[in-house]
């Protein structure tokens, strides 16, 4: 006989089992089973029947789980008729429906409000006390997966960013408080990958500005004119890359790539590169980066001249791409 079987046999043995019309606990309980996310109260009890009694005394309890090793009782605000029961080693689970009322002693015949639980003193006198019924479902966070075992007082929800989002904080949690509300989430997820075709873009850098980042864009110019990518911090344009298609200069049409910055509402001296590797209607990969105070541009594997910071120590927190650049995908890696 395994440890779990021995423990359950010990907990269930006695006068409650040997009677003519007794409760069939063996058909009511499930071994190594548990309901996730539904716990509104945890309490230490000496046996499985004591855990069942705790549930019976609560107006909110529809089922319970009992951990044999720690002898901890978990009261659930839902039953297996409504939510799934999962495997969890060392636990015993049961819906409360059908358990005998006499387990609660003086509370057997007592009636109490729906927001209360019954408690009986040593003399068997039943009293009603207000019951904390948990905090409900934790706050939802865009781009994050929530992990929690219940909504009891002190329960902690831990968030993990998923998909196209990255985590901005080392600690990313929310705690169930005595007010019945979850605390403000300490953390955030920020989108750093885009996979939907879009015309142009305007948005913020994930998790704020950084002195080291790489921006990778798969894009297609849609017009043979001008298109630009702008990195800003507030009103300052820290770096603008302008692609000029067949720009008329003097008496000739030229392709150019131009770098510049606009600090305190003043444009600086532009840097002009007399070639352009973008072709209207043709997809290209554009990589922009900042590292050690120097901006770099790479188009389809060709690296352009470096562009030093013109406002040292201030990094971009906003990105803008003109509508005549059709974006297939974009990734922002921030270190």
Give tens-digit pLDDT for 231-249.
999 999 999 999 998 765 5
Nearest to 241 by CA among 204, 278, 196: 278
Q: Are residues 26 and 118 in the same domain?
A: yes
Q: Are residues 184 and 212 in the same domain?
A: no
Provide the pLDDT for residue 198: 85
Residue 165 domain boundaries:
144-190
Q: What is the dihedral of CA 122, 56, 20, 6, to 10 degrees?
A: -90
Q: How far apart are CA 97 and CA 61, in angstroms?
A: 10
Indicate whether 41 belongs to any domain. yes
Q: Are residues 11 and 32 in the same domain?
A: yes
- For 11-64, the pLDDT digits (tens) are 444 444 445 456 777 788 999 999 999 999 999 999 999 999 999 999 899 999
In this structure, the strands spanning 302-303 and 294-299 are antiparallel
Residue where a domain stops, chosen among 130, 154, 171: 130
Is residue 18 a contact partner of residue 33, using CB atoms and an 8 Å limit? no
Q: How far apart are CA 259 and CA 297, in angstroms?
A: 10
Indicate whether 135 belongs to any domain. no
Q: What is the dihedral of CA 123, 126, 127, 133, to 10 degrees?
A: 120
10: pLDDT confidence band, cut at 50, 70 and 90?
A: very low
Q: Are residues 168 and 237 in the same domain?
A: no
Indicate whether 136 belongs to any domain. no
- For 116-165, the pLDDT digits (tens) are 888 877 777 888 888 899 999 999 999 999 999 999 999 999 999 999 99
Nearest to 211 by CA among 273, 290, 127: 290
Indicate whether 246 belongs to any domain. yes
Q: Are residues 177 and 224 in the same domain?
A: no
Q: How many domains does the chain divide into? A: 3
Q: Are residues 177 and 51 in the same domain?
A: no
Provide the pLDDT for residue 253: 57
Query: Residue 181, Cβ neighbours under 10 Å: how many?
Result: 13
Q: Are residues 98 and 200 in the same domain?
A: no
């Amino acid at each position: 006989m395994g440890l779990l079987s021995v423990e359950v046999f010990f907990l269930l043995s006695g006068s409650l089992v040997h009677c003519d019309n007794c409760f069939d606990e063996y058909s009511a309980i499930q071994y190594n089973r548990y309901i996730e996310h539904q716990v509104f109260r945890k309490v230490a009890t000496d046996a499985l029947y004591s855990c069942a009694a705790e549930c019976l005394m609560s107006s909110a309890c529809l089922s319970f789980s009992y951990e044999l090793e720690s002898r901890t009782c978990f009261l659930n605000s839902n039953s297996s008729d409504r939510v799934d029961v999962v495997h969890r080693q060392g636990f015993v689970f049961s819906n409360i429906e059908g358990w005998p009322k006499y387990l609660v002693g003086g509370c057997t015949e007592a009636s109490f409000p729906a927001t209360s639980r019954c408690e009986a003193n040593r003399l068997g006198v039943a009293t009603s006390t207000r019951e904390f019924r948990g905090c409900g479902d934790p706050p939802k966070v865009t781009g994050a997966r929530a992990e929690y075992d219940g909504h009891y007082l002190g329960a902690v929800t831990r968030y993990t960013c998923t998909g196209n989002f990255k985590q901005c904080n080392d600690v990313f949690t929310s705690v169930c408080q005595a007010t019945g509300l979850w605390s403000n989430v300490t953390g955030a997820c920020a989108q750093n990958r885009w996979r939907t075709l879009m015309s142009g873009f305007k948005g913020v850098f994930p998790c704020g500005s950084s002195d080291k980042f790489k921006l990778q864009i798969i894009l297609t110019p849609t017009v043979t004119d001008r298109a630009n990518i702008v990195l800003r911090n507030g009103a300052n344009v820290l770096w603008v890359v302008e692609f000029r298609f067949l720009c008329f200069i003097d008496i000739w049409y030229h392709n150019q790539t131009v770098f510049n910055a606009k600090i305190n509402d003043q444009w600086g001296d532009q840097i002009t590169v007399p070639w352009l590797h973008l072709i209207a209607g043709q997809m290209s990969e554009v990589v922009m980066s900042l590292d050690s105070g120097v901006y770099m541009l790479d188009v389809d594997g060709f690296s352009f001249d470096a562009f030093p910071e013109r406002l040292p120590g201030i990094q971009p927190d906003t990105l803008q791409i003109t509508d005549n650049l059709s974006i297939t995908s974009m990734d922002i890696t921030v270190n």
